Structures are given as C-alpha cells and as structure tokens.
Amino acid sequence: MQTADPTGALLTPKRAGTRVELTGVRRAFEPDVVAIERVDLVAEPGEFLAVLGPSGSGKSTLLRLIAGLDRPTLGTIQVSDPQRAARDEARRAEIAFVFQDAHLLPWRNVVRNVSLPLELTGWSRGETQAMAREAIARVGLSDAQRRYPNQLSGGMRMRVSLARALVTRPRLLLLDEPFAALDEITRQRLEEQLRELWDSLGMTVIFVTHSISEAAFLAERVLVLSRRPAQIVADRKIDLPRQRSAELRTTPTFAQQTRALFEVMRQQEEA
C-alpha cells in the first residue's frame, strides 16, 4: 500500500535508514556527575545496532542524545539522511522513540493513539486513520483497533506503542528497553516481530537493553558500555542469520554469541 503525505509524495513500505555518527560525545550533569565520556560510534543506514550495558550505565542518556531530547556537553552528533540534505526539523520528524513504558493516552482507542503523531503534524483525518490501521496491522493488532489501553495486555500495549512509532515511517527507530517489563514468552515474540519489521521496512534501529540474549537475538552489531561514566568497551558483530526464528535461541551458534557478550559484561563487573 502507498499513502500520500501532506506534500503529495508517496510513502513506500521500505525506506532507507539514516546514518548516525557520534564523535567525542560527553554528557556531564551538575555539579560533577559524568554520564557519558568520549563516546565515538557509527550506525550505518539500515543497521540494527544494540547498546548493551549494566543498569545505570548511561544507555538511556545516550539514546536521548541521539534523539535530540538532550544535548551533549562536548562532542558532535550527526543524523544524516542518505537520500536528501534535510533541515534539522525534517530530520527530527523522521526519528521515532519507543520508551520502556508504552505511554498510551487512556481516553483514546488503539487507532487514535497510533494516529496521534500524524495528527500533530497536520495530516488529514482520513489519511491518519488509513495509515494508523496499516501500522496496527503490521504489529498484528487489527482485531484490537477499537479497544482502549485498559483493555489491553502489557504486550499489546507495547505493540501499540511500536505501531505509533512506525506510523510516521521513521528512518531511525530508537528503543529504550521497551520489552523489559514483559514476561519472557511475550518478550521473545515481540523481539521476533521487531526483527521482521526492521527487515521489511529498512530503517536504522538502535536498541538499548541490559539483556545479553536480547541484544544477541535482535542486533547485527552490539556495543557494550562500561559502568558510568559510559564508554564503549566492546564493538562486536553478531554472526547469526538475517532471518531469526524462535528456534535459533536453542542453537550452539546462538549460545556462542551470547557467551562472548557475557564475558565482556563479566569483565566489566570485575573491573
């Protein structure tokens, strides 16, 4: 399905992701708390990157900096569109953020929660409804469109939050431990669904987590952060197939990948 945007262009299902580059990024809070120290990283267009680290290590701060919700004390952050030189405002509009809490509006049903970002940027009611339904279908919730948040399970609420992020067809999707509060089975199903969405939509994804198995299953590449102040202590490519099913988690190859990440994390604990 192709849908017209307010300028008359067509939004196709697959769009090129953005390139994200951080150079010498430092974030200090008053009076003397340093959350992030000298971080350099690059996420290439269309890459799925996981940021792994212990609780309180500065992962969420790093994600907020990339999203433009906070500013670095030192260093530069560039989010660039490979297809056009967009203005800062346009680039920000193509970044979507999924938080640990779904943050749904209780007085809006699923369709109206998902359509909210489009409404706020001036789309017509007909366009917002059509695009919201498409995003809802992508996360497997078509039969729950008219339900309200208090009628949904935790996993369903998180899928609504993901649909709301996807409805603007972002080139960069940032996720801050979105599945952390869910039970293991629901969490694994959503991880599989997120991989499928990334594969079909082509966006760049940066996923923050403290779960080693989650990072290994989801990402093409994993960055490991030290304890605060956060620095990158490992940059590891995940050697797994692009298509990842539930069965992959039981294989020796998957165990090997998680073991390697565990060793890096363990060394940080003992440092």
Helices (H) and strands (E) in the chain, counts: 8, 11
CA atoms within 13 A of residue 249's CA, in its CB half-sphere: 14
* pLDDT value of position 4: 39
Distance separating alpha carbons of residues 118 and 162, to the nearest angstrom: 14
Task: Name which of 154, 193, 173, 136 is nearest 43 in CA terms.
Answer: 173
Give the model's confidence band at 259: pLDDT under 50 very low, under 70 low, under 90 confident, else very high: very high
d(C-alpha 62, C-alpha 71), whole Å: 10
Is it the case that residue 127 has pLDDT exceeding 60? yes
Confidence of residue 55 (pLDDT cuts 50, 70, 90): confident
- 205 within 8 A of 170, measured Cβ to Cβ: no
Distance CA 9, CA 189 (A): 34
Q: What is the mean pLDDT of the chain?
A: 86
| Per-residue pLDDT at 238 exceeds 80 | yes
Asked if pLDDT for residue 117 goes beyond 70, the answer is yes
Comparing 262 with 181, the larger pLDDT belongs to 262
Amino acid 102: pLDDT: 85
What does each C-alpha distance from 268 to 59, 216, 238, 265 come to in angstroms?
15, 18, 20, 5
Q: List pLDDT tens digits, range 13-53.
A: 456 789 999 999 999 987 788 999 999 999 999 999 999 98
Mean pLDDT of 214-235: 93
pTM of the model: 0.87
If you average pLDDT over residues 172-188, what whole number do you get?
91
CA distance 216 to 205: 14
Q: For 60-101, how does the pLDDT look when each residue is reduced to its tens digit (9 = 90+)? A: 999 999 999 999 999 999 997 655 444 444 444 489 999 888
